[in-house]
């Protein structure tokens, strides 16, 4: 009798301590209890549309922020999203054309990510990505950007000391095999929605009656939006309209000369739509934080705001589908300076210095 009890005890001990490893899944011990996060949208801004299948959570943002700043997404661990989107340049890289992991130059200039969550008419200069979730897949695979493959990146996540836990907390995965690029890009998109205007620029405070614009800024404001007959209409506000300072539509602003629709070095929107009349059109970029995003335009070909204003005042270069709003505008040199001073009122350092969007490492 006594011997049987000992035998059972022994068997129990053996089974308790020598359980095969596969049965142990430490991920399931980590609670999945995401906390919903409310993004603060500044007054007068459009409604922030959040995809129903990717609600914003504290845990999702935390994961997305790490992924955005982690070179694990690149072939040789040398670059991350943030290498080309730096907070101090309003999430551009200060270069005319971005350089990727192999030192190869991309075709276009990095884009500001400020208020990117409101880009409902497509992302990139040509609008080829539908939304941020879809966009975030592309830099990893791009041979002149991070030059990696998603299966490799997902393997790196699985072996990583922190990522399985972070994916569990953000998305409730039950095993590391449920880590996918789709979840990674959802997290990145959640993070990117936090790169949003603060409502504290001088322009925004002026609209709320909290500060005054000086006379130069006010004249610049009036020319920009054509508020008065006593000053020339600089046309800007038609395409760079408030509050985002972009309609997010696609235009040819006369950046390059083109005798026919096939003469554009970069066909821009036309590559995406396949419509020849869209060749040479690019998405209107925001002008918020424009002082930080030089050099300007999709090809980084304009170095300063002075030259930008010269470009428009001249009516751009001739090309067949140049928008009719891009015509010669006669401005005195004082008026050009006033326009630039107005552009400076769009500076929003609070947005890009927001501690929640800085490098967590």
Give the interface with ligand HEC as residue ranges (CB under 6 A): 68, 73, 79, 81, 83-85, 98, 100, 106, 108, 110-113, 116, 119, 123-126, 132, 135-136, 139-140, 145-146, 188, 234-236, 238-240, 251, 253, 255, 282, 284-285, 287, 290, 293, 296-298, 308-309, 312, 323, 325-326, 339
Q: Which is nearer to ligand HEC, 63 or 132 (CB)?
A: 132
Which residue in the block uniquely carries the two structure tokens 């990505």? 129
Q: Are 306 and 334 in contact (CB under 8 A)?
A: no
Q: Give min distance, CB of 208 to ligand HEC, in A.
A: 23
Q: Which is nearer to ligand HEC, 27 or 272 (CB)?
A: 272
Q: Give min distance, CB of 238 to ligand HEC, in A.
A: 5
The CA distance from 287 to 348, in Å, is: 11
Whether cis (ω within 30° of 0) applies to the bond prior to 295 is yes
Which residue in the block uniquely carries the two structure tokens 């409730």? 172
Q: Give min distance, CB of 9 to ligand HEC, in A.
A: 56
Q: Which is nearer to ligand HEC, 78 or 198 (CB)?
A: 78
Copy the structure tokens of residue 244: 């985002």
Q: Which is nearer to ligand HEC, 176 or 187 (CB)?
A: 187
Question: Which CA distances in Å does 159 have to 67, 119, 140, 149, 165?
Answer: 15, 35, 19, 16, 11
Q: Which is nearer to ligand HEC, 176 or 195 (CB)?
A: 195
Q: Give min distance, CB of 147 to ligand HEC, in A.
A: 9
Cα dihedral 312/314/319/325 (nearest 10): 50
Q: Which is nearer to ligand HEC, 210 or 310 (CB)?
A: 310
The CA distance from 41 to 39, in Å, is: 6
Region of 124 (left: φ > 0; alpha: ψ -120 to 50; beta: rest) is: left
Q: Give min distance, CB of 207 to ligand HEC, in A.
A: 19
Q: Give min distance, CB of 312 to ligand HEC, in A.
A: 4
């Amino acid at each position: 009798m006594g011997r049987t009890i000992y035998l059972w005890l022994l068997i129990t001990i053996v089974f308790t301590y020598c359980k095969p490893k596969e049965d142990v899944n430490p991920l399931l011990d980590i609670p999945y209890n995401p906390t919903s996060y409310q993004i603060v949208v500044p007054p007068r801004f459009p409604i922030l549309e959040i995809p129903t299948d990717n609600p914003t959570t504290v845990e999702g943002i935390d994961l997305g922020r790490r992924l955005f700043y982690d070179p694990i997404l690149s072939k040789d661990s040398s670059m991350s999203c943030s290498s080309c989107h730096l907070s101090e340049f309003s999430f551009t890289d200060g270069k005319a054309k971005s350089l990727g992991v192999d030192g190869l130059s991309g075709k276009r200039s990095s884009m500001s990510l400020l208020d990117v969550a409101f880009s409902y008419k497509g992302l990139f200069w040509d609008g080829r990505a539908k939304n941020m979730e879809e966009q975030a897949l592309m830099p990893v695979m791009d041979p002149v950007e991070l030059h990696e493959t998603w299966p490799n990146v997902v393997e790196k996540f699985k072996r990583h000391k922190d990522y399985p836990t972070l994916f569990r907390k953000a998305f409730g995965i039950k095993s590391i095999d449920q880590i996918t690029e789709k979840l990674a890009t959802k997290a990145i998109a959640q993070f990117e929605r936090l790169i949003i205007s603060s409502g504290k620029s001088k322009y925004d405070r002026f609209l709320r009656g909290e500060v005054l614009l000086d006379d130069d800024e006010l004249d610049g404001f009036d020319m920009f939006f054509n508020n008065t007959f006593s000053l020339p209409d600089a046309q800007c506000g038609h395409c760079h309209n408030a509050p985002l300072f972009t309609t997010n539509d696609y235009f040819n602003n006369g950046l390059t000369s083109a005798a026919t629709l096939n003469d554009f070095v970069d066909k821009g929107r036309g590559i995406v739509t396949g419509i020849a009349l869209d060749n040479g059109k690019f998405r209107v970029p925001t002008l918020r934080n424009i002082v930080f995003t030089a050099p300007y335009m999709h090809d980084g070909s304009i170095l300063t705001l002075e030259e930008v204003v010269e470009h428009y005042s001249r009516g751009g270069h001739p090309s067949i589908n140049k928008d009719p709003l891009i015509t010669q505008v006669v401005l005195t040199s004082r008026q050009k300076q006033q326009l630039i001073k107005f552009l400076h009122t769009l500076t929003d350092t609070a947005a890009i210095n927001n501690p929640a969007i800085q490098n967590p490492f």
